[in-house]
Amino acid sequence: MVGEEKKREVGKEDLERQDCPLSPTDWVMVLSSEICNMKHPDFVKIINPIMLFLIAYIGYMIASVNTVLAPVFYSLYSPILALFAVTCIIVFIYWLIDFYKVCKREKALKELREKIIFGKEKDCIKIREKYSALYPKKRIKYAKKN
């Protein structure tokens, strides 16, 4: 019996193992790389349109000083400034919402990784379900083999 290999019977456990090819160790590696590659919204990229608007506005101010357009500039000063303020607020709120979503997802991934590392979560199918629940728009559908 030392040289003989035991034949494995195909049961429910084997079928479940085939549905989930990643072991808990593999899941830790996947989650770690996902956390490292997570992109936080870059505030500098969001500030660029605002800065372009400010530069154009300053150019408009300089061009209209001591010209025929000076009264037009002074009459449009309040609406342009209000438009700029509203645009800045909208862009900043968008950035905050995006930053909150990324931080929330990153925290959930770290918690799932810690559960796997400390042995609280060992079933790879449940791990896959929790992982796919973090990405509702990109729902990962796994085809079951019959």
Environment class of residue 138 by beta-carbon count within 10 Å: exposed (0-12), middle (13-18) or buried (19+)?
Answer: exposed
Other beta carbons less than 10 A from residue 107's beta carbon: 11
- pLDDT tens column, 27-54: 888 888 888 888 777 777 777 877 888 8
In a domain, 1, yes or no: no
Domain that holds residue 96: 23-133
Tokens in use for 101? 């979503």
Q: How far, in Å, CA of 83 to CA of 60, rounded?
A: 15
Q: What's the confidence (pLDDT) of residue 143? A: 55
Sign, CA dihedral 19-22-28-33, equals negative
Calculate the alpha carbon distances from 73 to 27, 55, 84, 142 in Å: 61, 15, 15, 61
In a domain, 66, yes or no: yes
pTM: 0.58
Q: What's the confidence (pLDDT) of residue 60? A: 76
In a domain, 17, yes or no: no
In a domain, 142, yes or no: no
Q: What's the confidence (pLDDT) of residue 114? A: 92
Q: What's the confidence (pLDDT) of residue 129? A: 85
Contacts of 89 by beta carbon, 8 Å cutoff, 6+ apart: none
Ranges of residues in the chain whose predicted pLDDT is under 50? 1-12, 14-17
In a domain, 15, yes or no: no
Q: Please give the tally of structural domains in the chain.
A: 1
Q: How far, in Å, CA of 132 to CA of 137, rounded?
A: 10
CB 61 within 8 A of CB 73: yes
Q: What's the confidence (pLDDT) of residue 107? A: 92
